[in-house]
Every structure is written in C-alpha cells, then in structure tokens.
A = this chain, B = another copy of it.
Amino acid sequence: MHTIKLTIEYDGTNYHGWQIQPGFTTIQGIFQESLSKILGKATKIYGAGRTDAGVHARGQVAHFYLQKYFPLEILHRAINATIPNDLVVRKIEEVPSSFHAQYSAKGKEYRYYILNQSVRSAFYKKHALFIPFVLDCDQMKEALSHLVGTHDFFALSVAPEKMNTIRTITRADLFKEDNFRVISLEGTGFLHKMVRRIVGTVIDVGRHKIPCTMIPEILQSRNKGLGGLSAAPYGLYLISVKY
C-alpha cells in the first residue's frame, strides 16, 4: 500500500467547506468522488483540517491510500482533469506510511486579506474583506504580539466548555500588500473559528473599539463575549501546513 500526499489549492466560494456533508458540495466530497472514479473503488481522503464554507486554501494538505501503484504524474493529471477548475492539486508525492495529513501536522499558516481603501473594489468581493475605515495598524500589530505564545484561546473560539483550548501561536504578523492589509498567523494548531475570531478582534482594535492591551485580559477571562465577532470567511486563506 502507498500513502499519497496531496497539496491542494482551492477557491472556497462555491463550496460548503472542506469536510464531507451529505447533501452539500464539499471539497473533500469532490476529491473522494474523483479518486473513487479514477481508482475504480471507494477511496477516502484525509485532510489536515477543516476549512469553513467560503474559506480558501493555497496549501491545504490531504492524504489517501493507494492499493496498487499508479504513476503519480498520471494520477496528478487525472485528478486535476476530473475536479472543477476552482480546485487544483498543486503537488502529489508518495510519503512514508506513517504520514497522516492531520496527525502528523506540526503547524499551519493562515492569512487573512483585508482590502483597506475608501471605495470598494470591483474585484475580490469573495476573496478579501473590504474595510473602508482607517485602521490603526500599530495597535493591530501590538494586539497580534499579545497572541504569540501558548495561551488558552477559549474566549476567541467557538469551542465547547470542556474542550482543551490551549494552543500555541508561533508568529502573528500584519503586513501591507498593495491596498491589502494581511494578517498572518502561524501556530501549532487552531480551534474552530479561532483565526476568524482573532481577526475580528484585531480589526476591532484597529478601529479603536477594543484597546490592544485588553487582549491578555480577553484570553484570561474565558469570556466569549469580550472579543470581536468572527471575520467573514471569504478573507481567509489556509496558506500551508507544516510537517
């Protein structure tokens, strides 16, 4: 048996997220269908993690098991030929059988794109969050710096009460790219909606609705009501998964 790792890019606009759900078009569902057709048998695919409806990926990772070897270059082309144009396998490789897209992952990088200009753009409607207000980027950067390290992120997630919500953020940054402000977060793991709640909170800091010095207090409070709302899914990109 061969373990095959896929590095996947997708435009999440037209999908109900990564995870397979009966009655919905999901990215995992499309890939399982494609592989099952190509390999002639029902084939499961395991993702590094879920992404919500509308969230994009530059470097989602998934793996599946191949019973009989199949030249990878042909498999690569066959998969890309059977999936819609807004999904694509960027890279295919055989990995040791111990590899698991989710359990072997050591970290992930997410980026959130904010289009920060006074008038909306004709482009990016489903690919960045438009904010016409002035954002205080120094304050946002300071807020992000308070998130780095190992903290209980319960307050900035939608996790249930009894879950272990301690996570480590290794890098949290804000940079400019043309008219975009990009929030980049790297960590060993993220809770459901944690990135979008962090972004919503950091945007509130940038608009002077939350003082940046309040971030440690929000985390310590374990009170989900103190931070900002979840930022819209369509600004979010899963950039890479580290192994």
Q: Are B85 and A125 in contact (CB under 8 A)?
A: yes
**Docked CA distance A80–B118 (Å):** 12
| Residue A204 CB within 8 A of the other chain | no
Q: Are A85 and B11 in contact (CB under 8 A)?
A: no
Which stretch (A37-45, A86-94, A158-166, A212-220) binds chain B? A86-94
With a CB–CB cut-off of 8 A, which chain B residues contact A120?
A: 80, 85, 88
Contact with B along A86-125 (1 / 0, CB 8 A): 1111110000000000000000000000000001111101
| Residue A9 CB within 8 A of the other chain | yes
| Residue A153 CB within 8 A of the other chain | no
Of B90, B122, B123, which contacts A119 at CB under 8 A?
B90
* Copies of this protein chain in the complex: 2
**Docked CA distance A90–B127 (Å):** 19
Interface size class of A (residues with CB under 8 A): 10 to 19
| Residue A190 CB within 8 A of the other chain | no
With a CB–CB cut-off of 8 A, which chain B residues contact A64?
A: none
Of B87, B91, B122, B125, which contacts A122 at CB under 8 A?
B87
| Residue A10 CB within 8 A of the other chain | yes
**Docked CA distance A10–B89 (Å):** 30
Q: Which residue of B lies closest to A126 (CB)?
A: B85
With a CB–CB cut-off of 8 A, which chain B residues contact A11?
A: 122-123
Of B86, B91, B122, B125, which contacts A9 at CB under 8 A?
B122
For the A-B complex with A56-B122, A87-B122 known, give 6 more contacts whose Cβ atoms are closer than 8 Å.
A11-B123, A80-B119, A80-B120, A89-B119, A90-B119, A91-B119
Residues of A within 8 A of B (CB): 9-11, 56, 80, 85-91, 119-123, 125, 127
Question: Could you give 9 example pairs across A and B, Cβ below 8 Å?
Answer: A9-B122, A11-B123, A56-B122, A56-B123, A80-B120, A87-B122, A88-B119, A88-B121, A91-B119
